[in-house]
Amino acid sequence: MRAFIALELPESLTDELAACSRELAAYVTGRFVPRLNYHVTLAFLGEVDEAGAAAAVAALDDACQGLAPIELTPRGLGSFGHGRTATLWMGVAETPQISDLSRRVREQLSQRGLAFDEKPFRPHVTLARRVRFQRETLPTLPFPAPAKASRVCCSRAR
């Protein structure tokens, strides 16, 4: 299975991001992410077997010991990729707390010999994939209010 470790979003932030997505749908064509799949990826693992998934959960448990709630502050729209592979996302402020959590998760994965995508951490919530849009036509959206997140999970990529 393809897996990743992610910070789950509080319901208030999920609700506001879903509202942003609904408004963006009038200006953007693509495959919008269902609201239940919103998250901030801390580490993408790729293909793992059952033993690897169990080791990832153990790494997650160790990395999250003493975790205090982390404030997530939306910072604007952005995109990765070009053409048919573009991804539209809402950026999240890279605070010391969220950066430290990503670092701790990655350290614990490394200590267990688990491979993960080593691209620099760039906190964001994916809103849509395979998008087409003209940046200059996007509406000015009110950004969601900051919210505190406190749940981290190991999930299967869909």
Q: Which residues are catalytic?
A: 39, 124
| Segments of 21-96 assigned E as strands | 29-32, 39-47, 70-72, 74-80, 87-92
DSSP reduced 3-state for 68: coil
Residue 38 near residue 14 (C-beta atoms within 8 A)? yes
Residue 70 near residue 98 (C-beta atoms within 8 A)? yes
DSSP reduced 3-state for 57: helix
Residue 32 near residue 128 (C-beta atoms within 8 A)? yes
Taken in order 82, 83, 87, 89, is the CA torsion positive or negative?
A: positive
Distance CA 126, CA 140 (A): 18
